[in-house]
Every structure is written in C-alpha cells, then in structure tokens.
Chains A and B, each alone.
Chain A
C-alpha cells in the first residue's frame, strides 16, 4: 500500500507540474487578457489536484475536501473580479491586447 501510494504521489506531482508549466506558458505568451485568465484557471486546477493528492496520500481526505471547496469559492470570486477588470479595460480601449497595456512603465 505504501509503495503504491508513493508511485501514485510521484506521478500525480509530475502531471501537476506539467500542468503548471502549460499554464505558465499560456500566461507568458498570450496577448489576450481573457487567455491570461484561462491560464490562471489552469494553474488553479493543477493546485486543486495537488491538494487532493495531498489529502489522499496522507489519509486526510475530509480535510482536503474542505480545503478544495474553500479554494473553489475563492476562485470564483477572483475570476468574477478579474472579469470585471477585463471588461473595464475593454470599455477604455476597445481591445484586449495585453501588449497595449503599457502606459505604465518603469
């Protein structure tokens, strides 16, 4: 059981790390603000997986579940606020190109 858990943990961590890389790739190379938000969401997915694995391997699934539920609530609020900011930016510029967001420099 313990060995099995260990492999399961290693494999999950590898996939979570790959997912984080994918998300970072999305955040760093995208020009569209909405796409950057999608990248952030993907990163949160990887983190959710890590939390679940942490609870599963240590046998504290109930604790991990309550963490995940809290995390999801927070995630929704952040995405709603972020969507508000994106729409606000769009109202000003009629564009969502991240590279045009360069009036702040230094």
Chain B
C-alpha cells in the first residue's frame, strides 16, 4: 500500500483505458479484436497487482486467448472487405467520429464531477480464506450454475452452427 502501488495502478488503468479506446477507434476489425486482447492483458496485470493471480490467469488464457480466437474466426468466416469498399468504408469511418465530442464531454464530466468517496471502507473484518475454499465450499451453488450454462452453450453451438444452409435458404424463400 505504498505510493508506488497507487502510481503503478493509475498508470496501468490509463493503459487499460487507452487500449479500450484504441479498440473502439481503430478502423480494421481484426486490429480491433487484437486491441480487445491487449485490453485483457492490461486487466490481467491489474488483477495480478490486486493479488488475484488465479483470476488473472483465467482472464489471460480465456479472455485474451480463447475469446480473441472466437472473434478472429468469426471475422474470417464472414466476408473480408473488398478493395472497392475500402474507400467507401473510410468515408463511413469519418461518420463514426461525429459522436466523439460527446464521449469526450462525458469523460470530462466524470473526471471533474464530485468523485465517489467511500465514506467508511473496511467496516467489515477481513477474512482470510483461500480461493479454493471459497469456490468449492462457499460458492458451490454457483458451480451448478456454471455446469448448466456450459451445457446450454454446448446446445447453442449444436443448434446455431448446424450447417443446414439449404434449409435456411428454403425458409427465406418462403417469406
């Protein structure tokens, strides 16, 4: 809890935000997906500093790894931009910045508004438990939820990625 810790954190938080802004403002979709991964990595370092190593590892492997893979494969499965459209896209891109002043205004408002002060932090006694203990003993009910949602996800992949394109086209024609 020294001065260094805070400075380090602010620096990382700024990097985190910068990566996020870059993700949003960059023109190419692929770069945007990579920007998201960079944001994840910044968050991972922040989690490590906050003494949450396991959550950090999860964030790094799943969010920076798996989700980026999902995004990149989605991008590659859908149509790559043709060259004639690039110019048109650049024109469209300019339109995206129209609302940027609004974003900057909101950011300024947050920065200069009365900051949220925690009136009485640490009013609860600190508990010394390990993650394993909490995850397996205190939150076992959530684990059932996780099993359920993973099963649901499996069915989602079965239902949504079924390549019955012929059937889909037939339905379209019926409309």
**Chain A residues close to B by CB (< 8 Å):** 1-2, 4-15, 17-19, 21-23, 25-26, 28-32, 34-35, 37-39, 41-42, 45, 48-49, 52-53, 55-66, 68-70, 72-77, 79-81, 83-88, 90-92, 94-96
Q: Which residues of the partner chain B approach A64 to less than 8 Å between Cβ atoms?
A: 52, 55
In the assembled complex, 17 residue pairs joining A and B whose CB atoms fall closer than 8 Å, in A order, are A8-B6, A10-B115, A12-B9, A14-B110, A17-B110, A22-B17, A34-B33, A45-B16, A48-B59, A49-B16, A57-B118, A57-B121, A63-B138, A65-B55, A72-B63, A73-B149, A77-B150
Q: How many residues of B contact A (CB 8 A)?
A: 84
B149 touches A77 (CB 8 A): yes
CA distance A52 to B21 in the complex (A): 21
Q: Which 4 A-B pairs have the closest CB atoms?
A: A84-B160, A59-B126, A77-B153, A68-B55
Given contacts A6-B117, A38-B71, contact A25 B149 (CB under 8 A): no
Q: Which residues of the partner chain A approach B122 to less than 8 Å between Cβ atoms?
A: 1-2, 5, 57-59
Q: Which residues of the partner chain A approach B59 to less than 8 Å between Cβ atoms?
A: 48, 68, 72
